[in-house]
Structure 1
Amino acid sequence: MSFFEHNTTFFSDYKTFQPQWLAVEDQISNIKDEYELVDWAAIRNNAKEVVVKHENLMVKLARDCRSARSKLPPAEADQALHAIEVVLEHIDSIGHVVLKLYEISEKLYDKTLDPYSYTMSDYNSDKKHFKKLNEVFKEKGKALNQLFYGK
């Protein structure tokens, strides 16, 4: 963990990214009715912003880690590589989640243009897929906690 704390801004970047991601997730997950009055364009724009921030987070983390790892002695660099892979897998699993949220938000926005383009059945199907992606994210989070905290 100290490798990431000393060589990257990952933790501070993640702390600003996570609330935005969870806010979009809450907006989309709390839909109860297909005729609900919601500003789908705003939700879609928020979801798009979260996807962009995720991409920036991942690229910046990879760049910082590559730079820091190149300065380490070979034995430490190998240890760092394993930690980097675990963290990047975790961040990648988040990417799948936020992309699915964006996909759902785009479909909900398109529904304002064509009310029959996306039904509650479609939404429920997408929500099931989202839950599967979220489970993968949680598993990767467990691997990350094991790496950082031994839990």
Structure 2
Amino acid sequence: MIKIIVLLLLATGVYGNDTDEGGEVNIEDDVVEDIDVDNEYIEVELEESVVGTDAEGITFTVINNHESSNLQGGAPYTLEYYDGEQWEDITPFDVFVMIAYIIEPGGSHEFTHIIRGEGEASLAPGDYRIIKIFSIADENGESESVEVIVPFEVVTE
């Protein structure tokens, strides 16, 4: 079950790259990466991990596998493109709906995020990722941030 609450949210910047031992970015890492929270609490199901250059959005489902804590997050997200050396923020716009999603234990919510800004003809082929920030409370009721990274590839059709 999901509850939707309208709130004022502040956009949060996400920084850093995931690199392997050779210094190259590894987008094949787990779909979910977190900060001080076990990955087992959150599961992400990606509708399509490879899309064509004319794709307008990416759809994925976030599942809360925690036994007793709600997963909370807003509508904002970051879209990044890997330029061969580093991840570049290419989020199509800075405006977002001020809404918060509360995913109860055992619940899920499907998100569709725009990956191509209005008026853009197509996306360049390559590696992309969507980053969303959620929070989940621990056993003591203290909230921990969770960074959900959803990698996907754009290919020429």
Q: TM-score, normalising length from structure 1? A: 0.26
In terms of fraction of residues, the more strand-rich structure is: 2
Q: Larger C-alpha radius of gyration, 1 or 2? A: 1
In terms of fraction of residues, the more helix-rich structure is: 1
Q: TM-score, normalising length from structure 2? A: 0.25
